[in-house]
Every structure is written in C-alpha cells, then in structure tokens.
Amino acid sequence: MDQSLRSCKRFVHLDLKGAPPRIGYLIELIQLFADLGANGLLIEYEDMFPYEGKLKVLQSTTQPPYTREEIVSIQDAASSRGLEIIPLVQTFGHLEFVLKHEVFRDLREVDYCLGTLNPHRDAGVRLVQEMLQQVMKLHPKSTSLHIGADEVYMLGHGDESKHWLDLPGRSVHQLFLSHVIKVAKGIRESAPKLNLIMWDDMLRSMTSETIKESGLVGLVQPMLWDYSPTLDVGNTVMLMERYKSAGISQQWAASSFKGSNTVHTCVTSTQRHLDNHFQWLKVASSLSAGIKLQGIALTGWQRYDHLSVLCELMPVGLPSLGSCLQTLLHGGFTEEAQKKVVEILGTVDVEDIERLSSSFAGAKLAELIVKLTSLLESAELRHFQNNMFVRGWFTPYHRQKKTINPLIAQQIKTQATIILDDVESQVQDVRGEMRLLYSDSTVQEWVDQHITPVLEPLHNLSRDIETVLNGMGLCTESIS
C-alpha cells in the first residue's frame, strides 16, 4: 500500500471558466469535497474573478463574476473545513479569455491564436503581473500560487519570436523559460515566500541541463499532469527523475476525475478515472527518496479551453471524485474506500441512478442528466434517419423531388413526435433542476450544446415532411 500519495495534499480542481456554480451551491460543494477526503482546492477563476480597473474587461459578460464578498465566503468555507486554497492564474498559454479582447489583441504571439501571449512585449508581462496581484490580494492566506504555463501553442511562430530565434544558440525552450522566469521573479519581488507551481508539459522535451542552466530551479515547482487511464508509469517516473536531476526535488502530480475523456462528454466514467489514479499510485510508489511529492491535484475540467463546449457538470462527476479521493486515501479502491463513498453518495458510479443518494448537493440533477443522456444516445433517436420508413420513403432523393407517400409521412411524423416530446419533457426537468445550481446562461448553453444538435435532424426531417405535404396540398392533420 503506497504511503507517499496517502500522506500528501489532495486538491480538488475547480474550473470556473465554464458552468460556474451559484455561490450557495459552490459552498455546499466545498463541504462535500471535504467529506469525500479533499484537503485543498485549486481554483481557476478565469473570467469569473471580479477584476478591477483596466482589467475589468476580463470579467464574464454572460453572467456576473463572483463578487469580492463571495470570494471571501469561498475561502471562509474552505478554511472552516481545513481546505487550503491555491489560486490558478494562466500567465502564458490558455489566455483566450484575455487575448480575445480587441484591447489586448496586439499581445498575441500570432493573431489567429487567442491563447498564447507574445513573450517579447513588456505590456504582456505587466498584464499578467496585474492579474496575479489582483487575485492574490483577494487571497491573503494562500501560501501557493499556480501560474499555469501549459500548452503554449504557436510559441516561436510570431514575427518577433522568429527574429529573436534567428540569433545563434537560441531556442523555443529558452524563449519559454525566459518568460516564465520573468513572471516568477516579478511575483517573488512582492511575495518572496509565495510557493509557485506551473504545469510541466512545456518542460518535458527539455534536457535537465537546459532546465538547470535557465534559472528556473528554486523559482517554480512543476505539476506533472496525465489524465490517461493507461498512464505510462515508467516514462512518468523517468520524467520526474529528470526534473530531480535538474535540481527540482519538489514536484506535484495532477490526475483527473472528470472533463478529460472527450470534449463533449456529459456523463462521467468512474472506472476510467479510477484507472488513472491507480497508475499515479504506482508512479508515487516508484519514486526515489530524493523526490518530494508535494501533493496531487484532481482536475475537473469544465471546458478544454475558454471557447470550447461544456464538459460534464460537477454533479455527475461527484461519484468519480469521491472514488478517486478515497482511492488516494486508502492506497487503492478498497472495501473501506468504497464504503465511504457509498455512505456519502449512495453509489460509486453516477450511472447507477437506482442507488444514487438523493441527499447530496446536486444528486437530482445528476440523475436527470444520466436519464436524458441515455435517451439522447438511444439508437432510436441517433439512427432515426436509418429507420425503414425514412430510408424507404423519404430519402434525400424524395426530399429533392418533394414527394412522399402521405400515409408513410404520418408514420414518420408520429414516431418523430413521440421521441421529441419525450426528450422535451426530460429537458424541462433538467432545466428546472439546473437553474437551482447554475445561472440561466449556463443552463441555456448546456442545452444548446448538448441537446439541440442531437434533435436538429429530427426537427429538420419533420419540417421537410410538412413542406412536402403542404406542396401536395396536404397536411399531417388531414391524413391522421
């Protein structure tokens, strides 16, 4: 049984750039995280932070950001349960929520990539420093800060970067490291004791000598992220040993409990995420004594980036989260671990809705989403275009020629209407429950992204049938 992950900090990642919960529900969630075994929160506010001054433009326009008082209440709720808070503020990549604004357009590395900051502009460094200062000022008790720096796409492709790289001996690795170090040193000037963390993916292809010679060592600690259920234990251990040989002994891990399957997933698979944690347990137990594992962040992505579709909502991810936290606590998904999750949530798998407890925050919504998703994924709905009547009497040829057997038209319309009415009834139930936990804009976005595209072919088919029948001087009512 592994000891190193059992004893280290377990941070639940709150990705608030999509479906940010109403503050009352968020406070309930924090209590639940603690009950399930968390002792920290990694909070990524993005556009839900109440930025002030010239940064006010960064605030969400689809719903009001959390107020300063609400952010204090989040910290109070966490503190009351012994949960440490680490804010996460992106400073290089994934800055879509900043660089999408016209006022910051000239700070992009390349104009068509909204996520990557141009590392050559002093204004860009000042911008991220101001973001960091505003966030940390509102988190005076936090002793650590995550500065992001993952997936810095298109770095080196901008004109200024190309010019910089033309000089002999310069590389994209050095370009990346110089910006991160500049940001980190700027933070250290005003907060010398603040512990800084960064995502590690941009470091993975670097040699230990490159990292060691850069000046990064002692400034920032890497958080290695891998969300795969088949995480390569050997390669991950080798990577962590390489960071250690560069002089970085304090390292972090990042697993996943939701939001890392496919970009549009609605229902979380507990087993997939448990498998990811089993692999991380193997990694932790294989590390040499010189590596000091500081903690693990269980990521729960709500979007892949600022502009992508919503991933699974938090309520459907809670059984997975509980199972993963308890697995870390017990060194495996033991009977004891399962018993604890079942005691709080009723089940370890959100799809087991018969056993899902109705007592935890968001349980009703989770149940409704699972039922609705099952209907949306049914063969009857997904493959309606392939049923006998549509394939036989209303093919694209028939639509083009605007002809149909009226009797068959009624059959198709009746079947489509039954399905659509059933879905709409369940959607209304989901809307009602979701509004209790999320803003109206989130509810509408979720429906538009996950429901509307699935139903659109049926609606189009029904409209086309009506058009053809009207052209024939008939309507479905007259032949019913």
Give the active site residues. 151
Q: How is the chain split among helix, strand and coil, in percent rounded to 5?
A: 55, 10, 35
C-alpha span between 309 and 452 (Å, rounded): 13
Alpha-carbon dihedral angle through residues 75, 80, 84, 89, given to the nearest 10 degrees: -10
Alpha-carbon dihedral of residues 285, 288, 294, 300, nearest 10 degrees?
-50
Task: Write out the two tokens for 194.
Answer: 């603040």
Helix (H) or strand (E) holding 221: strand 221-225
| Cα separation, 438 vs 18, whole angstroms | 10
Q: What is the DSSP string of 157-205?
A: -SHHHHHHHTSTT--HHHHHHHHHHHHHHHHHHH-TT-EEEEE-GGGTT
Nearest to 237 by CA among 226, 173, 13: 226
**Phi, psi (rounded to 5 degrees) for 304:** -70, -35
> And the tokens for 394?
């209303």
Contact (CB, 8 A) for 274 and 228 = no
Task: Retrieve residue 384's tokens.
Answer: 């309606």
What is the Cβ-side half-sphere exposure of residue 283, based on CA atoms within 13 angstroms? Answer: 33
Question: Do 203 and 222 meet the contact criterion of CB atoms below 8 Å apart?
Answer: yes
CA distances from 264 to 91, 194, 260, 338 (A): 26, 36, 10, 28
- List all residues 6 or more positions away from 67 whose beta carbon is below 8 Å from its beta carbon: 50
* Contacts for 468-477: CB closer than 8 Å, 24+ residues apart: 468/398, 468/399, 468/402, 468/403, 468/404, 468/409, 469/404, 469/406, 469/409, 471/402, 472/402, 472/403, 472/404, 472/406, 474/406, 476/409, 476/410, 476/413
Expressed in angstroms, the distance from the first to the final Cα of the chain is 68
Element containing residue 135 per DSSP (H, E) = helix 122-137
Rounded CA separation 336/60 (Å): 43
Tokens at residue 45, please? 């506010």
The structure tokens listed for 383 are: 């493959």
